[in-house]
Structure 1
Amino acid sequence: MLRRTVEDISTGSDSDYSNSWISWFLSSKGNEYFCEVEEDYILDRFNLTGLNTEVANYSQALDLITDNLDDEIHDELRGTLDVQARLLYGLIHARWIVTARGLAKMLEKYKKVDFGRCPRVLCQSQPLLPVGLTDVAYEKSVKLYCGRCEDIYSPKSSRHGSIDGAYFGTSFPHLLFMCYPALIPTKNGPIEGPGFRGGAPESTESSGNGGRRPRRAREDNGTGETVGSEVTTTAAVALKAERYRPRIFGFQVNEIAKLQRWQEGKPRQIARLEEWEENNE
């Protein structure tokens, strides 16, 4: 769980604050995932509804972001206000990037591969998108979503890995693909099917029974999971695997949800095939 710390807070000179606070924030090392939120959006109080209950010193933090803070107040509360301003800007950023103009700005960063590439070999360096696992601040750090394998990964850099996931929200990457369907990655490639999401399928061991790996007798509980035996089948592992579920404002994405239902049914099909093979050996 993220803690409310003042880690990586810049201790720049007063001249750093003579420029725009947003420009300074975006140029700070570790904030490369963020895009610039337009000032008109920030100044519209309707867009900030409810944030005053989530951010301490809300008014002063907002004034700092918009460069309207009195210098005397800033000197008294500089450290506290920097933390609260970062929190406020992050929460505003999460709302901004799901608007039409915000999506367009993040699309530019996506095309420039600012968020890195998928580490999975068979995704062939697919560009990633930032996503949060929760919309509540100080709970989970940001993750990176791959539109090809539909899985999530941790950022390589520790600076990026410490960014709060709530600053991007749970809906952003899926809404981007919904608004720009031409960007949805194809699933084509050497991979044999969507069921093999973590890598290539297991290779068979060479043996005297036609190249198939030897099997041990087992009791099946109907789900493909081994009971009373130390053998773990492919179906049993697949059934236990935790899956990332893309959501937009809390609701599963329709087409992806259908694909996931098919994928979750595949281990049961594998279990039935394994049982059929054993009975016909």
Structure 2
Amino acid sequence: MDDFNSETDSDYTSYWRDWFISSRGNEYFCEIDEDYLTDRFNLTGLNGEVQYYQYALDLVTDVFDLDCDDEMRETIEKSARHLYGLVHARYIVTTRGLAKMLEKYKKADFGKCPRVMCEAHPLLPMGQADNPNAKAVKLYCARCEDIYNPKSSRHSAIDGAYFGTSFHNIIFQVYPALIPAKSYDRYVPRVFGFKVHAPAALIRWQHAERDEMRRRLRKLEIESGFKDDEGDVEAEDSEEEEEEEEADPEVFENGEAQGGQVGPVA
């Protein structure tokens, strides 16, 4: 019985996919079903993306029997990892793939949000581009709706295209009960209990609103009533004249302008 168990375990661990999933740095990946990998429809267009595509596919599906040197084997191994990642991006948006990633999400296998206000909410891997070799994988928090870099350097080296730009949103469309309550809490800087820069921010906002209101009143030719309005109007008029002069330099070329002659008044 012991011999049978050891032989079974040895055969099981000899599968390439099991070795890939159990390797350090590949914790974000789920295992792709063999029937999905052997369906050519699911691999459409990948033969042009992967070097030694057929050999790589044979290695992933455990039918590789090519006798080659170590350098060639290493190249095919690299292509197999790339192929698995590209297929993985397609697989995890299927019903079966979403269920597997959901289990990893519930166990927080992808990490927890580093933001204090999110109270260690689980993260999801995501890509910022669907094309390979463009952006590394990021981690998305559904509570604060922000993205973060992985803590481990091994995870930071994973291509974001292996998860795609849609998976982290699709999983909440399929499982809406997982959508967390949004985090509206924000850190408020304080000094001895008093808010920092709150009056200054309010004054800046008031100035911006006042300037916008004055511009609207001038367009409507309505008296604003501000004391410094006349000086601002003259300043804006001079700026408009300068802009017109820059826009039509030929008009001022001979010292003349529309409506009169430009020059000192006697």
Range of TM-score over shorter length: 0.5 to 0.7
Structure 1 CA distance for aligned equivalents of residues 11 and 137 of structure 2: 27
The Cα shift of 1:212 comes to 5.4
Structure 1 CA distance for aligned equivalents of residues 100 and 205 of structure 2: 55
1:67 equivalent in alignment to 2:54:
no
Q: CA 1:74–1:176 in 2, change beyond 3 Å: closer, same or farther?
A: farther
How many residues end up aligned between the 2 structures? 199
Corresponding residue number in structure 2 for 1:249: none
SS of aligned partner of 1:119: coil
Corresponding residue number in structure 2 for 1:256: none
SS of aligned partner of 1:213: helix
Corresponding residue number in structure 2 for 1:26: 21
Q: CA 1:32–1:18 in 2, change beyond 3 Å: closer, same or farther?
A: closer
TM-score if structure 1 supplies the norm length?
0.64
Q: Quick one: which amino acid aligns to residue 87 of structure 1?
A: H
Corresponding residue number in structure 2 for 1:143: 138
TM-score if structure 2 supplies the norm length?
0.67
Structure 1: gaps spanning 5 or more residues: 1-14, 193-198, 225-281
RMSD between aligned alpha carbons? 3.0
Structure 1 CA distance for aligned equivalents of residues 123 and 166 of structure 2: 14
1:130 equivalent in alignment to 2:131:
no
More helix by share: 2
Q: Which deviates the most, 74-83 or 166-175?
A: 74-83
1:88 equivalent in alignment to 2:83:
yes
Match of 1:36 among 2, 26, 31: 31
Q: CA 1:214–1:105 in 2, change beyond 3 Å: closer, same or farther?
A: closer
Corresponding residue number in structure 2 for 1:104: 99
Match of 1:46 among 41, 53, 57: 41
Percent identity over paired residues: 58
Q: CA 1:113–1:18 in 2, change beyond 3 Å: closer, same or farther?
A: closer
CA contact (8 A) 2:16 2:61 kept: yes
Q: CA 1:96–1:205 in 2, change beyond 3 Å: closer, same or farther?
A: same
Structure 1 CA distance for aligned equivalents of residues 204 and 176 of structure 2: 48
Match of 2:116 among 102, 115, 121: 121
Dislocated runs of 4+, deviation >2 Å: 15-18, 73-76, 201-207, 211-222
The Cα shift of 1:70 comes to 1.3
Q: Quick one: which amino acid aligns to residue 113 of structure 1?
A: A
**How does 1:155-166 map onto structure 2 within 5 Å?**
155-166=150-161
SS of aligned partner of 1:33: coil
CA contact (8 A) 1:146 1:152 kept: yes
